[in-house]
Amino acid sequence: MEISDLTVTATLASLVLDEAETQKLGDEVSRMLSYFEKMSEIDVDGLEPTTHALQKENRLRDDRRLSNEAQPDELLECAPDLEDRFILIPNVL
């Protein structure tokens, strides 16, 4: 794997890597990619890609409100900072 590819991937994943980490990850990711290359060798022409192997039927929900064990207020308590009921974060605009 080219180091530049790794840098782009890291940026997309919002990861900040220093030079040592880049070097270390570069080797590891290259090894992982080689496993995928191995899989790519298999001839899958004419096969439809499968995303879910064990699905027997549709999994649907009626359009009906459900009460939840976790109350909104409890969920809000997990936020780092609140203003009234808004979650407050540094400006991201």
Partner 1 sequence: MYQSFIGLEIHIHLDAETKAFCGCKAHFGDEENTNVCPVCMGFPGVLPTLNEKAIQMSYTVARALNCKLSPNTKFERKNYFYPDMPKNYQISQFAEPVGRDGYIDIEIGDSIKRVRIHDVHFEEDAGKMIHAGDMSLLDYNRAGYPLLEIVTEPDLVIGEDAEAFLKSFRRLVRYLGVCDGNMEEGSMRCDANVSINLKGAGLGEKVEIKNLNSSRFVRKALNYEIERQSGMMDEGKAVVQETRLWNENRDQSEPMRKKEDANDYRYFPEPDLPPFRPSEEFMQDVENSLCEMPLVRKQRLMNSYGLSSDQAEYIHEEKYMADFFEQAVFSGAEAVQVYSWLSSDVKKLLNRTGLSLEDCPLSAERLAKLISMIGDGQISGKIAKKVLDYIFDEDKDPETICNEKKLVQISDPTAIGKIVEDVLAAHAQVVEDIKAGDARQMGFLVGQVMKASGGNAAPPVVQSVLKEKVLG
To the nearest whole angstrom, how small is the minimum distance from the Cβ of residue 28 to partner 1?
Answer: 19
Instruction: Give the shortest CB-14-to-partner 1 separation in angstroms.
Output: 5
CB of 20 or CB of 83, closer to partner 1: 83
Q: How far is CA 4 from the centre of its chain?
A: 21
C-alpha 52, offset from chain centre: 18
CB of 42 to partner 1, least distance (A): 19
Q: Which is nearer to partner 1, 38 or 51 (CB)?
A: 51
Three-state SS for 82?
A: strand
Toward partner 1, which CB reaches closer, 20 or 65? 65
- Taking the C-alpha atoms of residue 55 and residue 35, their distance in angstroms, rounded to an integer, is 27
Q: Footprint of partner 1 on this chain (CB under 8 A)?
A: 8, 12, 14, 51-52, 55, 58-68, 70, 72, 75-76, 78, 83-93
Distance CA 24, CA 8 (A): 16
Q: Which of 81, 62, 85 is nearest to 72 (CA)?
A: 85
Least gap, CB of 67 to partner 1 (angstroms)? 8
